[in-house]
Amino acid sequence: MAVMERVEVLVIPQVSGEILQRIQNVDRRIHIIDARGWFDVELRATWSQWTVDRYLGSRKYPVSSLDERNRALASAEVVLMGWPPLKDLRARAPRLKWVHELPAGASNFLDTDLWGTDVWVTTTRGLTNRRPMAEYVLASFLHFARGLHLSYRDQRRHLFDHKTYDPIIVRDKTACVVGSGGIGQEVAKLCAAAGMRVVGTRRHAVSGAPLPPGFARLEAAHLLHNLLGESEFVAVCCPWTKETTHLIGRAAFAAMRSGTVLVNIARGEIIDEAALLQALAEGRLRGVALDVYDGEFERPPDSRLWDDERVVLTPHVSAVTDVSEHRGVKLFCENLTHYLEGLPLENVIDWERGY
């Protein structure tokens, strides 16, 4: 990269004025184009009603014309965006060099014209609210281990059936963390602190490499089924890519131990829902907690998942918390300095790898 003289930074998400000032304070060469909320009208027109209701709701947005928005995009070299993204950003921004999204998922760009282009796209991968997501996983493990899901059934009937609870202790049980990135490592540390033995996968295992804190064992992704066979609990924490689409499918469920607890805090497409429903029908799973599900940006969950007392469904809120540890803006500001000085950026999406 060449050293920059002046950089036009287009800010699209409705971030606070304080965040806008933090970005401006990075360097005097930055010129912010304040387009906060301008594109909501387009997002509402191009994304499904389900996504609009869930992520945009009835929030207010400033009035802007298509010409104003196009002029802003035409001058932008850097764009900061949130969720959902503009689907035709690349076509309308001829000077665009770099996009940073505040969420973590590279898969968020699959349905946009940025995927596979020469534009640098960075995400907040590994720097989102990892601790609350790890707490969600452990809470889900404990929820099903203690049989708390059965209490809802008893409450509805006003009748206890204590013989069906069959609680188990999580200490000394094995948890398999599918994907040992930033979130997976936080899950491993918390589960290990609860006395669990934690195993996991990573894309490429390096023989003799030190294990991240919390892990007793890490294997390459192709050995996942071996790890599932020795685990009572499974947490899906990996990115959604071509390789991980339906990673947890019929063969994975067949490899799991009877009575496994499965939690997904990554992306719904990683689990084959037909195979999941079959595993539930066959009584192979003790419980399932899904913070995500296949098609969550287009439609509600499958009614069979809604209706199964062994399934907990939440609306992609595992990272939501009262004390935010999200470091997306911090990473963006650090990368802005790198960009201005012609240095490599952190967390650039590898289009081939998919994250």
Query: Which residues are catalytic, by number?
Result: 267, 296, 316
CA 45 – CA 59 distance, rounded (Å): 15
* Maximal CA-CA distance, the chain: 72
According to DSSP, residue 288 is labeled E
Q: What are phi and psi of 101, to 5 degrees?
A: -105, 140
The total number of residues written for the chain in this structure: 355
According to DSSP, residue 240 is labeled P
Three-state DSSP state, 199: strand
CA 235 – CA 265 distance, rounded (Å): 8
Helix or strand run (H / E) with residue 220: strand 217-220
197: left (phi over 0), alpha (psi -120 to 50) or beta: beta
Q: What are the strands of the beta sheet with 98-101, ordered from one edge?
A: 30-34, 7-11, 78-81, 98-101, 120-122
Three-state DSSP state, 100: strand
At 25, list the tokens.
């304070």
